[in-house]
Chain A
Amino acid sequence: MLSLLLRRVHMYAGLFLAPWILMYAASTFAMNHRPHDRKPPTFERERTETFPGEFAPEATPQQVALQLLAFLDLDGAHNVPRPAADGKLTIQRLDPLHPRRITYQPDTKALIVEKQVFETSAFLERMHRRRGYQHDYWLEDLWAISVDVTIAGIVVWALSGLWLWWELKVTRRIGLLSLAGGVALFALFLKVL
């Protein structure tokens, strides 16, 4: 019964999580072959606006960013670095396909929205690095949960795979050789790297 359950969990988890695994495999491959002198991302101007509203006198950069994103109809996960010395605020609006850079100049109230030009390896790397519960958006939390489920899936595949292998007596000898070979190589890396 346990064996059957493990077999089913192993398989259905694999089928459900296949897109995540494909993304992590492709992005890892891209990062492993990333040139060390890669160029910074390219942005193209999408639109320019003038912000018509006012901010509370003690508004933090985070509160200003929320107000600006709502005005632009771009509310969603974002990062707000510290404003520049002249007060210029740059908001990084996260997006898997087209991240945006929004620049706000307080003295003129000018808003410039720039869209990052799509580039496959950068897209894969963004997906790979997207994780955690730090953003106040339910879809971000749902994605973070899916990442946790993928982590659990990876561990479960390894452990259930070991169990299922041990049950197949005819595969024990070559299986043990494969396992020992992998463990020995990994141990060597731990020593020399």
Chain B
Amino acid sequence: MTFPHINRRTHLYLGLFLIPWVLMYGVSSIPFAHNQYFEARDKAKNLPLWTKTFEGPYDLGEIPGDRPLRFLGAKVVKDFHMEDSSYGAFRQSPNQVNIYVHTFWKSTQFKYFIQEKRIVAEDRRFRWEHFLTGMHARGGFEDGRFFPILWAVIVDVVCLGFLAWILSGLYMWWSLPALRFWGWVALVAGFASFALFLWRL
């Protein structure tokens, strides 16, 4: 077993294992990059994005102004029996806190009105582009549950995978002297274009 052999096999098997993530990141980048097109297409359907599912009195207690509001999401998902979902909480305005509760397949937003002590729950209509962009944007180690952390670990592995494919790919290219000239052209053109963007964009 030689180094070039190990290098080729690592490049290949890592790629095969991570192919669902690579495809997901590639395909889900399309609605991000062409957001205006997808929004216009959905708007033409004339369907409401959010549907109210609950409205009533609710007390989240005192809302601090000086620290993250994530703990409010923990109370809401518990009270509304959505413990298997991820969540985030943000102050929308001085009188309103929004809590977003989501899985890959379903999103619910809770609007909590501080002065009135009232909460409104709304479900978001399923859209494939939201499903894809939701997966794309998923990451981080805030959620202490096992599977969200494992997902975040895999996100790191995908990042390291891209680095490994570049390095192992460079090695494989360099091992083929007949391809060096055009390889240099591609590599230099890529780095020069990117540097130009950094400089002038």
Contacts and interface: CB of A to CB of B under 8 A. Distances in A.
A39 to B, nearest CB: 12
Contact of A182 (B19, B84, B179): B19
B29 to A, nearest CB: 5
Nearest to A157: B22
A61 interface: no
Interface stretch (B8-16, B57-65, B75-83, B109-117): B8-16
B19 A12 contact: no
Contacts of A32: 139-141, 152, 155-156, 159
B201 interface: yes
Interface string B128-167: 0000000000111110000110111011101110110110
Contact of A193 (B104, B193, B201): B104
B74 interface: no
Contacts of A146: 193, 197
Nearest to B86: A193
Interface residues of B, number: 70
Question: Which 6 A-B residue pairings sit nearest by Cβ, starting from the closest?
Answer: A154-B26, A186-B20, A19-B194, A15-B186, A25-B162, A16-B190
Interface of A: 8, 11-12, 14-26, 28-29, 31-34, 36-37, 76-77, 94-97, 130-134, 139-140, 142-144, 146-148, 150-151, 154-155, 157-158, 161-162, 165, 168, 171, 174-175, 178-179, 181-183, 185-186, 189-190, 192-193
Interface of B: 9, 12-27, 29-30, 32-36, 67-68, 70, 84, 86, 103-104, 138-142, 147-148, 150-152, 154-156, 158-160, 162-163, 165-166, 169-170, 172-173, 179, 182-183, 186-187, 189-191, 193-195, 197-198, 200-201
